[in-house]
Amino acid sequence: MVVVVQTSLILLAAYGVLGLIFALAFHGRGLPAVDTNTRGAGVGFRWIITPGIVALWPLLAWRWRTAHGRGSFPGGPDAPVPARRLRAAHALAWKALATTAPVIVAAALWSRPPEAPRSRIPLPSPSPSSSADSLRSAPQNLLTNRVRHAAVF
C-alpha cells in the first residue's frame, strides 16, 4: 500500500516536472499557435493559466499538434455544445449521487461507535521519531484536537 502510494507520488511529481518544462515551451511558442486570442495577452493571463497547463499538458500538446494541421482534436473552439448530451450526463451524475451519498452517510452515522473512537487508539510516544510512531501520533493529535473543540458542533 505504502509502496503503491510512494510510487504514484513519484510518478505524479515526474508528470508535474514534465508539465513545467512543457509550460515553458508552450508559453514561448504554443499559445499563439493554438489560440490567436492569446496574442498580446498580459502576464496576469499567463500566470492564471499556468497551473492548468502543468496539470493538463498532454491535452494541450495534442491540441498544439493539431494547430499545425496534424490530426484532429475533438472539441476545440468550433465544435458545437452538445446541450442534450450534457443534460443527460448531468441527470446521470445526480442519480448516482442521490442514491449513493445518503446511503454512505446514513451508514456512517449508524455505525458511530457508542463512545468516541479515541479510546481505541494507543497513546502516542512523546516524540515521534520513526514513521510508525508518527503514524500513531497523527490520529492521536487529530483526536485530541477534535475532543478539545467538540463543542463547536
Partner 1 sequence: MSTTYRAIDWNRQKRVYDGTLGGLLALGLGLFVGISVLVSPNITVETLLIRGSSVSALLLLHVILCIGPLARLNPRFLPLLYNRRHLGVTLFLLALLHGAFATVQFHALGDENPLVSVLTAYGRDYRVFADGRINLPHFPFEPFGVLALFLFFLMAATSHDFWLRNLGASFWKAMHLGVYLAYGSVLVHVALGVLQSERGAIFPGLLAVGFVVVAGLHLAAARKETRIDRGKPLGEADGYAETCRVEDVAEGRGKVVLVAGQRIALFRHQGRIHATSNVCRHQGGPVGEGRIVDGCITCPWHGWNYQPEDGCSPPPFTEVLETYDTRIQDGRVWVRTIANPPRQHCAGTAVTAT
Could you list the residues that contact ligand HEM (CB under 6 A)?
Answer: 142, 145-146
Residues 6+ positions from 146 with CB-CB distance below 8 Å = 116, 118
Pick one of partner 1, ligand HEM, none as the site partner of residue 60 (Cβ within 5 to 8 A by kind): partner 1
Pick one of partner 1, ligand HEM, none as the site partner of residue 108 (Cβ within 5 to 8 A by kind): partner 1
Q: Which is nearer to ligand HEM, 6 or 145 (CB)?
A: 145
Q: Which is nearer to partner 1, 21 or 88 (CB)?
A: 88
**Residue with C-alpha cell 500500500?**
1
Q: Please state the separation of Cα 102 from the chain's center in Å.
A: 24
Which is nearest to 106 in space by CA: 98, 96, 114? 98
Distance in Å, CB of 147 to partner 1, minimum: 7
30 and 58 Cβ atoms separated by less than 8 Å: no
**Residue with C-alpha cell 497547463?**
53
Q: Which is nearer to partner 1, 71 or 80 (CB)?
A: 80
Distance in Å, CB of 36 to partner 1, minimum: 8
Q: Residue 44 corresponds to which cell in the numbers above?
A: 496576469
Distance in Å, CB of 6 to partner 1, minimum: 6
Tell me how crowded residue 64 is: count the other CB atoms within 10 A of its CB: 20
Distance in Å, CB of 68 to partner 1, minimum: 15
Which is nearest to 121 in space by CA: 95, 142, 152, 100? 142
Pick one of ligand HEM, partner 1, none as the site partner of residue 89 (Cβ within 5 to 8 A by kind): partner 1
Q: Which is nearer to partner 1, 21 or 147 (CB)?
A: 147
